[in-house]
Structure 1
């Protein structure tokens, strides 16, 4: 198998169905669906009514689509040079121009949808989307590559809480846990591609740390988020809090111990802890009682 010729990458295709499928695939549908679903669940958790929750979901969806399309369009040449599969723009399934147009359209839609959640909630969400675009266009290759993830995940509970009538604001522990999960998401997202990224000239924080150190560091913010979510709110941790605390550290340790025989073990362990953390965040809610 050879790498794709970069000069032939992201060429327009004449097949409408192929373009449509390629456009859908190039938005990073997994993260888009996951983050949008979490936003909706947070909205329900804080007590938003159906209309406000729908507007919140639409705002987050448009923002995530814009970020995903921006990422694939901007990285098309690097993806083609690295021979990465599953990248529609680099494969020529959809043109780079089409994906850029989709990214800007989604970003423009995100502005009124975000502000419809409330001026403060909208401003916070648009700040997070702008940070994600900054990551795609510049910060990904710098030592500050972690910052947009921390901002994006940390502000998600805040946006849901600020969208409530009266804008009560989020709890400190929800924002802190979200930021920690964002740091973990960055480490986990970059970890499998560190070597390819380095060959392409990308030197974000995980690349500077190296794959081994990044894999060892990955469970730390996840376990820290578990502790914050379980012990931060007033009152007892509850059943799910106790379960999360009981699972987090052993799962993280198991991932580290198995790393020598299975290189994806730290990432798999991190996924288990992250799922427990997100569930606990949804159970706890994000707005002051």
Structure 2
């Protein structure tokens, strides 16, 4: 999906300006837009009005852009050594100072936009953004690489509910589901690049566990998130919940089987994406129960 997004942006580069297109690609736009769309949908489901939902979207988008730009800037030396010509910075399509400045500007804008949702809600979001930056700044190279994802995703529901009247803290099951989804997203995101990361000296938890065990952890973590989303809310699960649990359970079994072990196989990555997609659908469906 990210490669398709890159191709589409480059096709339109003459209209946008080559430098602007390269800067946009340096921000990892596909995941940034996906996370922004997800959280905005959750904000609407949780009862935020149009203005409040726009504030949420802008805060999340600026935070995500700052994380994406900082990632490419911080990893420039490693990406250059790995000959990552798909990276605009490595290819010389955008200046290093431009990307660094964009990351700082986005981070500065993220602060007031987050706090405009309320002090408590804004603080929750900014802690999550700080966790993501900590990942870029070095936590990704340690056995604690999963922790920033757990913190950032676990606090996103709090960012939404603490902005509602009465500033309620989200239900425990929502926070747990968000944290599990974040950890699963971490393992899913790393799966295709484990060998390249190891060659570059990046030894986060997925790299230490290896490809086979990492895909199993991704499957079980995302399945656990499904279970929490289906069984956590009060009352018996509905048909959609049971269906989602059946789909994620089937995908988890497929991932845990000794299939698609070739480093070039896209099956594990695509299956974990399917698991994450099912979890996201369940999370949005239960947005009205966030508090």
Tell me, yes or no, whether TM beats 0.5: yes
Residue of structure 1 equivalent to 2:10: none
Deviates more, 1:28-37 or 1:159-168: 159-168
Task: Show the 5 A alignment for 1:171-186.
Answer: 171-186=171-186
Structure 1 residue 97: Cα displacement: 0.9
Structure 1 residue 286: Cα displacement: 5.9
Residue of structure 2 equivalent to 1:87: 87
Q: Which structure 1 segments of 5+ residues have no match? A: 1-15
Residue of structure 2 equivalent to 1:248: 248
> 1:72-113: per-residue Cα shift (whole Å, max 9, x none)?
011111111112242111111111110000000000000100
Distance in 2 separating the partners of 1:256 and 1:182: 19
Structure 1 residue 167: Cα displacement: 0.7
Structure 1 residue 288: Cα displacement: 5.2
Pair 1:111-2:111 in alignment: yes
Distance in 1 separating the partners of 2:60 and 2:289: 18
Q: Which structure 2 segments of 5+ residues have no match? A: 1-15
TM (norm. structure 2) is 0.90
> 1:208-236: per-residue Cα shift (whole Å, max 9, x none)?
11122112221011100111000000112
Residue of structure 2 equivalent to 1:282: 284
TM (norm. structure 1) is 0.91
Residue of structure 2 equivalent to 1:20: 20
Change (3 A) 1:288 1:68: closer
- Secondary structure of 1:218 counterpart: helix
Distance in 2 separating the partners of 1:24 and 1:139: 25
Distance in 2 separating the partners of 1:110 and 1:74: 20
Distance in 2 separating the partners of 1:288 and 1:109: 27
Residue of structure 2 equivalent to 1:270: 272
> 1:140-162: per-residue Cα shift (whole Å, max 9, x none)?
11111111111111111111111
Distance in 1 separating the partners of 2:265 and 2:244: 24
The 8 Å contact of residues 46 and 287 in structure 1, kept in 2 or not, is answered as yes
Task: Show the 5 A alignment for 1:1-289.
Answer: 17-257=17-257, 258-260=259-261, 263-285=265-287, 287=289
The two structures, once aligned, show a CA RMSD in angstroms of 1.5
Distance in 1 separating the partners of 2:196 and 2:271: 23
Distance in 2 separating the partners of 1:182 and 1:61: 17
The 8 Å contact of residues 216 and 266 in structure 1, kept in 2 or not, is answered as no
- Secondary structure of 2:196 counterpart: helix
Distance in 2 separating the partners of 1:288 and 1:184: 20
The 8 Å contact of residues 252 and 266 in structure 1, kept in 2 or not, is answered as no
Structure 1 residue 43: Cα displacement: 0.5
The 8 Å contact of residues 161 and 287 in structure 1, kept in 2 or not, is answered as no
The 8 Å contact of residues 218 and 266 in structure 1, kept in 2 or not, is answered as no
Structure 1 residue 191: Cα displacement: 1.4
Distance in 2 separating the partners of 1:77 and 1:286: 45
- Secondary structure of 2:68 counterpart: helix
- Secondary structure of 1:71 counterpart: helix
Distance in 2 separating the partners of 1:260 and 1:95: 39
Residue of structure 1 equivalent to 2:12: none
Distance in 2 separating the partners of 1:56 and 1:156: 10
The 8 Å contact of residues 219 and 266 in structure 1, kept in 2 or not, is answered as no
The 8 Å contact of residues 47 and 288 in structure 2, kept in 1 or not, is answered as no
The 8 Å contact of residues 70 and 136 in structure 1, kept in 2 or not, is answered as yes
Distance in 2 separating the partners of 1:137 and 1:242: 40
